[in-house]
Chain A
Amino acid sequence: MKKALFILVLVNLALTLGPPILAIPMIRHTPAMLAVAHAAGRIAPFASAVSALLAVAIVFRWRRPLSWVALALIFACVAVSRVSIFEWLFAPAGAAQLAAIAQFQDIRDSDMVIGVTLGDESRAYPVRYLAYHHMLNDRLGPIALLPTY
């Protein structure tokens, strides 16, 4: 019982914390590391849900202070594996709010924009906006656009 619970906790922590740890900026990333991170991120939501059910069944029969801690950790993995840690750091952009360029005063004249023209429509994305959100799921005319920075 005790051993099974311990293994469940370890597996879930590895699956949930592995991907963000592998994708921190200051290390040299290899394709194999990223492949592992991607695979772990894909199975973590499912694996943690199954683990939570198993853990509840175990704790039902083996109630110790430590088993409640294990249960709490696994439930934390259920939650964390379903959100993006990077989107905590850099909130995703909401739907684009537009201004006419003549009236646009959110940035200085000397600040940079990413400009795009498709047919007879043009749009400017402030670099300072993209440097925080990093991307915007947008649309210009018939084209679904993804400005990134």
Chain B
Amino acid sequence: MWDRAVDGRILRFHLGGLNNQNLLMVDEETGSWWQQVTGECLFGPLKGKRLRRIRSDEVTLATWRAERPDSSAVKFEPRYLTEYPDSDWEKRIASLPANSTGPIPPRELVIGVELDGVAAAYPLAALREKSPVNALLGARPVLLLVAPDGNSVRCFIRPTAQDFYRRVEDGALIDGATGSVWNFAGKAISGPMAGQSLESIQTTKDFWFNWQNYHPASTLRIRGL
């Protein structure tokens, strides 16, 4: 999710092409080419500029509706109803060729996170199994959470590396230090921390090859989650 304003001018974007299977976007105003995944302008008069990222969440409709009952939603356009892919579209393109290195297939879905220049990717399947995951991104303690729906993922900054979050028998997420209960939105709903919220950071659900292509220094975290 990007802010379309660049140096005070609002740009309109179109689909321009593909760069190693990631979209190139072209702006109407200058004809410059932009990389979708990084927001960087690669060619044209605005070369070198970067779009400002807007924090977004990738969650199920049910989760979003429960958390944001006042939200609006963008409707399908009636004339393209037959064009929109089905719910299982990610599985269907899983056989297209792609290249990556590492122990997982190129098109395995990962959750990519980045904080203070340190990038890491977690296989979604592993996160589903191990959530909540208390981890370190560089020196920064973070918490990766998968919602009970199995597909919504969020990442939060843990206040200190000593703050560990775990699930107790009834499914509640509690922190070890105070025993407060936290929800998937990162908010304490009962206990001594009630009302407090954890700061969230952007997560990107992506194919491993694409994440690796644009974050070549990223680690892949599988063991010890």
Contacts and interface: CB of A to CB of B under 8 A. Distances in A.
Contact of B151 (A110, A114, A126, A147): A110
Given A100-B72, A137-B12, A114 B56 contact: yes
A148 B2 contact: yes
Interface string A49-60: 000000000000
- Nearest 5 pairs between A and B by C-beta? A23-B17, A122-B71, A144-B4, A109-B62, A104-B73
A127 interface: yes
Contacts of B19: 23, 29, 34
Per DSSP, chain A at the interface is: mixed
A110 B59 CA distance: 9
Contact of B59 (A112, A120, A148): A112
B209 to A, nearest CB: 12
Interface residues of A, number: 70
Nearest to A34: B19
Contacts of A106: 73, 75-76
* Range, interface on chain B: 35 or more
A108 B59 CA distance: 12
A112 B221 CA distance: 24
B73 A113 contact: yes
B75 to A, nearest CB: 4
Interface string B1-20: 11111000010111111111
Interface of A: 19-20, 22-26, 28-29, 31, 34-35, 37-39, 41-42, 84, 86-87, 90-94, 96-102, 104, 106-118, 120-129, 131-138, 143-148
